[in-house]
Structures are given as C-alpha cells and as structure tokens.
C-alpha cells in the first residue's frame, strides 16, 4: 500500500503533465485546421519549413517573370494588331493607285483618287503613332528592340523593332496627280506590302516565342505551388478526426486530474 501525503500528490502531477501534453496537441491540431498548414513555422518541422521557404522564393521570382512576359506579349500584340491594320490599308491604297494608272483618266478623277490615297496614308501614320503599350512602340520610326525577361536567372527574349511608318515603307512622297507619279506609286506600294508582310511575320514569330515561354512559366508556377502544398499542407480529414480524439482525451485528462486531486481528501477518513 502506498503512503499518503497532503504535501506531495504524484498522481495529480502525472495527470497534469498528461493534460498539458494533450492541450498542446489540441492547440497544434486546431492551428493546422485553421491555417490549413501542417508546417506553420520552423519549430513544426525545421527542414521542411526551410525547403518550403526556398520554393516560395522561387514562386515569387517566377511570378515576376510571368508578369514581364505578359507585358512583353502585350507590346508585341499591339504591334501585330497595328501591322495587320496597316497591311489592310496598304491593300486599299493599292486599289487607288491601280485606278490612277488607267489610261485617259481625267484630272478631277485623278485628284479625287490622290486625295483618297493621302487620307489612307494619313490614317496609316495615325495607327503607327498609336501602336503603343506601356510607353513602348515597336513599329514607329526609330523604334528600338524590346527585351523581355524570360527566366529567373535573367535570360531574355529580344523582339526586334519593325518600323512601318510611311517613310520607312517608302510611300511618304507617292503621288497620284500624274501618270508618272501613279506608276512610281504602284512600284512603291508593292514593295511596301511585301515589307509589311515580312515585318508581321517577324513580330508573329516573336509573339509566339513569348507566348510559349509564358505558358511554360504558368505551368512551372503551378508545379512549384503544388510542391509547397505537398510539403506543408495539412490533411484536413486526418486533422479533423484527430481533433475529436484529442478533445475526448482532454475531457478524460480533466477527470483524471480531478480524481487525483481528490485523493488527499481520503486522509481525513483516517482521523474519524
């Protein structure tokens, strides 16, 4: 038979220690359920937390690359869209020139065709001037190449400028007011149409390259996020079941502590 003491209660001490461990487990489980994370900080799992933090850094860097690619893609897409409109205008301008090259054309008709031609040329200039995104224009006179960040290690994609202004295309001085001018304008417009087609092809190729890299970057971000999730995410179904079990243990622990604390009361019966 064990000794009785009112100064020392080993049973209560053991029950209190067990209840404290149960309470700590309950807090941990509740935190995991609240945050959805199994690893909330370095004390939960130091090595896993360190790996996850590095991956989060990679995600942040890759997301910055994605933003750069998206911005670059927008710049190129604006240039492509403007180039397509320019190609359509050049086709329409050629129609005016062909009409001006017909024999026996009267002066009034020639003047009307010239005015229409000039109006279309002015519209072309307007399109070139407005083909800007984020203060970058790839098709205006004197345009410079666009450098787009493509990877976290600093690799880039360079998109060459493709000037499509009337001077570069060689149609700035074209006139339909006389037959010789109309003849020269036909040669110039054919050359311009060919140049714009080549420039659009170059822009389209660059746009496709940026698009492919952007798609890969998006997939890479998803993979990295999934990797972090595999490392630190909590299994909520498991944690929910664990929570119920711990809550039962906590109730039992409280009862055990109460029983242990009541043991010294039995000493009083020895004096009755």
d(C-alpha 253, C-alpha 260), whole Å: 10
In order of 2, 4, 6, 166, 269, the CA distances from 9 in angstroms are 11, 9, 7, 99, 17
pLDDT of 41 reads 84
pLDDT of 242 reads 76
Q: Which domains occur in the chain, in start order?
A: 46-231 (1.20.1330.10)
Tens digits of residue pLDDT in 159-215: 999 999 999 999 999 999 999 999 999 999 999 999 999 999 999 999 999 999 999
SS (H, E, C) 164-199: CCHHHHCCCCCCCCCHHHHHHHHHHHHHHHHHHHHH
> For residue 2, is pLDDT > 60?
no
In order of 48, 49, 63, 160, 223, the CA distances from 58 in angstroms are 15, 14, 8, 30, 11
Mean pLDDT of 236-265: 71
Assign 22 a pLDDT band (cuts: 50, 70, 90): confident
Mean pLDDT of 250-265: 68
pLDDT of 268 reads 58
Assign 156 a pLDDT band (cuts: 50, 70, 90): very high
Tens digits of residue pLDDT in 36-56: 877 888 887 899 999 999 999
Torsion angle, alpha carbons of 151, 154, 157, 162, to 10: 140
């Amino acid at each position: 038979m064990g000794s009785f003491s009112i100064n020392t209660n080993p049973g209560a001490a053991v029950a209190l220690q067990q209840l404290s461990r149960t309470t700590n487990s309950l807090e941990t489980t509740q935190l995991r359920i609240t945050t959805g994370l199994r690893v909330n900080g370095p004390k939960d799992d130091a090595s896993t937390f360190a790996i996850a933090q590095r991956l989060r850094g990679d995600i942040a860097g890759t997301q910055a690359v994605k933003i750069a690619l998206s911005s670059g893609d927008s710049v190129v897409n604006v240039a492509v869209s403007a180039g397509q409109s320019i190609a359509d205008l050049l086709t329409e301008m050629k129609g005016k020139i062909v009409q001006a090259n017909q024999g026996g054309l009267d002066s009034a008709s020639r003047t009307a065709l010239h005015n229409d031609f000039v109006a279309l040329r002015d519209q072309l200039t307007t399109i070139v001037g407005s083909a800007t995104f984020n203060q970058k224009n790839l098709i205006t006179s004197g345009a410079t190449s666009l450098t787009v960040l493509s990877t976290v290690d600093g690799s880039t994609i360079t998109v060459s400028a493709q000037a499509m202004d009337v001077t570069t295309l060689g149609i700035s001085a074209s006139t339909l007011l006389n037959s010789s001018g109309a003849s020269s304008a036909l040669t110039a417009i054919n050359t311009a149409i060919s140049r714009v087609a080549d420039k659009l092809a170059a822009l389209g190729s660059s746009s496709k390259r940026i698009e492919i890299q952007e798609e890969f970057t998006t997939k890479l971000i998803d993979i990295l996020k999934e990797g972090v999730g595999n490392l630190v995410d909590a299994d909520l179904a498991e944690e929910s079941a664990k929570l119920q079990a711990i809550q039962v243990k906590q109730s039992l622990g409280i009862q055990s502590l109460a029983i242990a604390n009541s043991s010294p009361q039995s000493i009083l019966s020895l004096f009755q």
